[in-house]
Structure 1
């Protein structure tokens, strides 16, 4: 297994990497992980800026305290990641068609992200923040969004009867996202 600590990688194409790698406190800028099998890779306290992970396989990949900014993360199965110490945050990222099914990710930040068709079924998102994020077609079923912030989120459809929404924050402008399942006309 390769091991890197406190290193910065710029414009590196990791998609041909075959050996298992552990990265500790590393920074990645404009790197490619597209379609890569990240089986058993470990990312601990890493920062990713303008990286592309689209269609990567995250089976048993560890993402422990990792931050993604302006990254392309299309169609990723975060639910296949190693759940031990799983912690991620996203800013200005594209996460469309990804899955967080049953992920435990309290206090996760999704700031100004595209989350179209993302699966949050049975995810524990307590205290998470969806600031300025677009949630068209995102699925919330039996999800824990207690104390989560949706005040500036857009285009969500959350059924209060099948999700735990106690003390979640919504604005008057986006309150209709809680009522869509009732067929109520709001003007």
Structure 2
């Protein structure tokens, strides 16, 4: 039996390993909470917002994220690839996502705004219509990624091989073109 919580606000909590098991949260807000010790099992978040929370190293296998926003959160080294793929929808603003894994996910329409995204894994990920707004994508892996109509215009430090990824109609700035030519080891001045 799953416990259900609706329209609740949680602040400054430090959660234990199994604090969230078999629970469903809808329209809830979490502010200043620490999830670093959590091992989520059978958890669903629908239309929830996380503000200034720390998920670093949390194990989030079999978690449903449906319409979830992360604002000013630390989400270091979190593996999203084992999340429930049904209606997977997340958005990030002002977050540190370094070393997170998103491989094999359908992330159509996701927004990343002002995020540090160092060494993320987007292998086999569908990034159609994803917005990367002012994000640092240094050492992030794009391999067999579908980034059709994705917007990289204001992001930087990315390296995407057009021969190994689908990037039709994706948007890039003139300065960002260097990230599409890295494999050729060209010297671009300007």
TM-score (norm 2): 0.96
Could you list the runs of 5+ residues in structure 2 that have no partner in the other structure? none
Instruction: Report how many aligned residue pairs link the two structures.
Output: 187
- Distance in 1, Cα, partners of 2:23 & 2:35: 13
Q: 1:59 aligned to 24, 44, 61, which one?
A: 61
8 Å CA contact retained: 1:2, 1:19: no
Question: Which deviates the most, 52-61 or 17-26?
Answer: 17-26
Q: 1:171 aligned to 162, 170, 173, which one?
A: 173
Q: Quick check: 1:157 aligned with 2:171?
A: no
* Structure 2 counterpart SS, 1:136: coil
Q: Structure 1 residue runs of 4+, over 4 Å off?
A: none
Q: How does 1:24-173 map to 2 (within 5 A)?
A: 24-173=26-175
8 Å CA contact retained: 1:101, 1:121: yes
Q: Quick check: 1:12 aligned with 2:10?
A: no
Root-mean-square deviation (Å)? 1.0
Q: 1:182 is matched with which residue?
A: 184
Could you list the runs of 5+ residues in structure 1 that have no partner in the other structure? none
* Structure 2 counterpart SS, 1:42: strand
Deviation of 1:18 after TM superposition, in Å, equals 5.9
Cα distance change on mapping 1:19 and 1:146 into 2, 3 Å? closer
